[in-house]
Amino acid sequence: MGRRIVLAVLGVVIILVLALLLGPRVPVDTTISFDPKVIGDDPQAYIAREEAAVPNVRDGLEKEIIWADPMVHARTPLAIVYIHGFSASKGEVRPLADEVADQLDANLFYTRLTGHGQDGAAMAQGSVNAWINDYEEALAIGRAIGDKVIVIGTSTGGSLAAWAATEPGASDGVAAIAFISPNFGIRASGAELLTMPWGRQIADFVGGKERSFPTRNALHEKLWTHTYPMAAVLPMAALTNLAYAAPVEKATIPALFIFSDSDKVVRQDRTREIAGRWGAPHELVPVDDNGDPDNHVIAGDALSPSTTAFLAQRIVVWVQAIAGQP
């Protein structure tokens, strides 16, 4: 009888362990399906068509090309492509990218990652695969408006850029990457649970089905989606892990890492680690004083206006040295 009880208990334990290990996880599909040919000869018209088909895009947060010469939509030697972070929009560090593009006489493209710049519910539409293909679309538009592409990626936008830099064919045309507070690890305690089996269920149980954060001013409220389903966080966490695990020793694209050692949102120790492993020429730009109490959004009118001009100029000087521009 005792042996039967032991075997029964052991069987239950095995079933529970298997249920835990084989439970649902956030999907991590890195298939690149975007076809650059769909852009055609008029990237401006393509963007307008695509954005018109998306409901509830908030005014001023849509994808946008800013031409170096608004009267003549001509290619420029360099094109700047800006990739925003999770729950943010093209305005998060604006006008930093505008100033960089202006000083380099470059066309500029602002993307909008899937689910962003709409309403809170739309954030649940985001996925690792959707964002990877958003990134590929952004680079394709960059190649359509410039001879060489310079990527500026903030936070989770930096995660995308880092992963793609190590994937064959995923960063075609990219001459340099400027990372701003790149997300290679979420600082929040328990973040590792998000990508484990039953991660969504655990997140909903611990944090509730909806996440919200207080905004600091009207511009912060306008440019970020500050209330969204907790489930929307999972693909961001998965993408973060993907970027951190990427074999960046193989990277051949020069990189500039702009970050704060006091960042309260992402792990700056991992930023230093990734920079140390980066295979191509790279530089680090630690930023001590900025306006963001979390030391994460370290440029831009919304949270850190005092550092924008300096960091824009720092990027310009670096790009000129890398790309051989006057």
- From the list 24, 55, 67, the residue with the least C-alpha distance to 122 is 55
- The structure tokens 């290619």 sit at 75
E strands, the chain, are 64-66, 76-83, 107-110, 146-154, 174-180, 210-212, 227-229, 255-259, 282-286
Please, which residues have CB within 8 angstroms of residue 3's CB and are 6 or more apart in sequence?
Answer: none
For 60, what's the count of Cα atoms within 13 Å in the CB-facing half-sphere? 8
Q: Are 265 and 293 a contacting pair, CB within 8 Å?
A: no
- The structure tokens 């305690």 sit at 189
The pTM of this model reads: 0.92
Q: What pLDDT was estimated at residue 219? A: 98
60 sits in the region (left: phi over 0; alpha: psi -120 to 50; else beta) called left
Q: What pLDDT was estimated at residue 23? A: 54
Residues pairing with 210 in the sheet: 229
Task: Write out the chain's pLDDT in tens, 326 residues.
Answer: 565 664 544 554 454 444 455 456 788 999 999 999 999 999 999 999 999 999 999 999 999 999 999 999 999 999 999 999 999 999 999 999 999 999 999 999 999 999 999 999 999 999 999 999 999 999 999 999 999 999 999 999 999 999 999 999 999 999 999 999 999 999 976 667 676 766 566 666 676 788 899 999 999 999 999 999 999 999 999 999 999 999 999 999 999 999 999 999 999 999 999 999 999 999 999 998 999 999 999 999 999 999 999 999 999 999 999 987 66
Q: What pLDDT was estimated at residue 17? A: 44
Residue type, 272: R
Residue type, 244: Y
Query: What one-character DSSP code corresponds to residue 57?
Result: P
Residue 255 has φ and ψ, to the nearest 5°, of: -135, 145
Residue type, 274: I
Residue type, 273: E
Terminal-residue alpha carbon distance, the chain: 86
**Which tokens in the block code for residue 225?**
């989606």
Residue type, 3: R
- From the list 234, 38, 45, 238, the residue with the least C-alpha distance to 140 is 38
Q: How far is the C-alpha of 64 from the C-alpha of 111, rounded, in Å?
A: 7
Q: Give whole-number Cα distances, 204 to 54, 113, 193, 231, 234, in Å.
A: 28, 24, 12, 8, 11
Domains observed in the chain: 33-323 (3.40.50.1820)
Q: How far is the C-alpha of 244 from the C-alpha of 227, rounded, in Å?
A: 27
- From the list 214, 181, 182, 211, the residue with the least C-alpha distance to 194 is 211
**Which tokens in the block code for residue 21?**
């290990």
Please, which residues have CB within 8 angstroms of residue 38's CB and are 6 or more apart in sequence?
Answer: 46
**Which tokens in the block code for residue 163?**
């992963």
CB atoms within 10 A of CB 132: 24
